[in-house]
Amino acid sequence: MSMPFQIAEAAGRADPDLVAARSGSVLALLGHLGVLQFSGEDAESFLQGQLSCDVAAVGLRSSAYGAYCSPKGRMLANFLLWREEAGFQLALSRDLTASIHARISKFVLRAKVKVSDASDAIVLAGAAGPEADQALREAFPDLPKEPDQVSRRPDTGTVVRLKDGRYFLALSPPSASALRQRLANVLVPVGAHAWRWLDIRSGVPLVTTATQDRLVPQMANFELLGGVSFSKGCYTGQEVVARMQHLGKLRRRMFLANVAAQAEAGDSLYSEDLGDQASGIVVNAESSPDGGHDLLAAVQTASREGSTVRLKSLSGPALRFLPLPYAVA
């Protein structure tokens, strides 16, 4: 099924979408994300044993970040999770949706759970900026006021207030088209790359094919975003994740940076203190409205603090680190 409205993505220093996202109020189609649905009477208990977040704590009015990990504790995907009357919805990178669908379905066994790919049946969108609250309140009178809160309107869809104040929307195709037309005078339509840039500036990582199975949640600050529960009990990879939190020394953390060159997720990072051994990896990267590329870098904390971190090689362009909107221990 084609999307109800399409926006061409662009990149570059003077990209108007990025300028609008930085200083205005915007609406973006999130075509880079897919949706998996989990329904059935055992859906909650099944997901509780698979995912890093506390699924049982997610009600009809709440949401949570979470991760699906390998037995070695590395993230195979991360996501935003919310609950509908019919079950749970999980929004993740679209390039991983099919493989995660196939993998997690193998563990259903006798559980009364149905896993389905709803990526073509649900339109995902995002709204941000100072005018977003008032604009969306006309469509969602019960607009969430606090981070992680959820509200819905039967004829329109579901809206989630994210931790940084932006809004994530899951809409039916007809309502998405109508809502876009309704909001066009207030929220500037922008491409998904502008939303991904906002994610980067907010310190919110997205695991994609390029970074799958390469990071434990803490390396991407995911426990700082509420994506890991250390009290809920067992889930796939839990032992490794918990050991790193309570017994191990976390050597890599995720930081925000800018580099005066093109960067992509999965690019290696190097620093003088480690020589030819990579000191980190680019988690996500997008063009910056101020030039170069802004990126999230999972890098050795010692290298970030005491050396110069460079892109792709020891002679590559240096990263300029920027403050994240939350504290990193």
Using one digit for the tens of pLDDT, what is the confidence trace for 295-310? 999 999 999 999 999 9
* pLDDT of 11 strictly over 60: no
C-beta atoms surrounding 301 within 10 Å: 17
H-helix or E-strand spanning residue 100: helix 94-105
Indicate if 292 and 157 belong to the same structural domain. Answer: no
Report how far residue 200's alpha carbon sits from residue 256's, in angstroms, rounded to the nearest whole number: 7
Q: What is the mean pLDDT of residues 32-36?
A: 98
For residue 281, the domain's CATH number is 2.40.30.160
Q: Any idea which residue has 């991983």 for tokens?
A: 96
Say what the pLDDT of residue 329 is. Answer: 75
pLDDT above 70: percentage of residues in the chain: 95
Beta strand 188-190 with 26-29: parallel, antiparallel or unpaired?
parallel
Structure-model confidence comparison of residues 239 and 13, the more confident one:
239
Domain housing 55: 16-201
What pTM did the predictor assign? 0.94
* pLDDT of 96 strictly over 50: yes
Indicate if 164 and 263 belong to the same structural domain. Answer: no
> To the nearest whole number, what is the mean pLDDT of the chain?
94
Q: Which residues contact 144 (CB under 8 A, 6 or more apart)?
A: 150, 151, 159, 160, 161, 167
Q: Considering the domain boundaries, does residue 135 fall inside one? A: yes
Indicate if 95 and 239 belong to the same structural domain. Answer: no
Indicate if 193 and 256 belong to the same structural domain. Answer: no
Amino acid occupying residue 61: R
* pLDDT single digits (tens) 172-208: 999 999 999 999 889 999 999 999 999 999 999 999 9
Q: Which residues contact 104 (CB under 8 A, 6 or more apart)?
A: 36, 50, 68, 115
* Cβ proximity of 158 and 86 under 8 Å: no
- In terms of phi and psi (left: phi > 0; alpha: psi -120 to 50; beta: otherwise), the region of 258 is beta
Give the distance, in angstroms, between the CA of residue 89 and the centroid of all CA atoms in the same chain: 14
Say what the pLDDT of residue 89 is. Answer: 98
> Which pLDDT band, with edges at 50, 70 and 90, does 148 fall under?
very high
Number of domains in the chain: 2
* pLDDT of 131 strictly over 50: yes
Say what the pLDDT of residue 321 is. Answer: 98
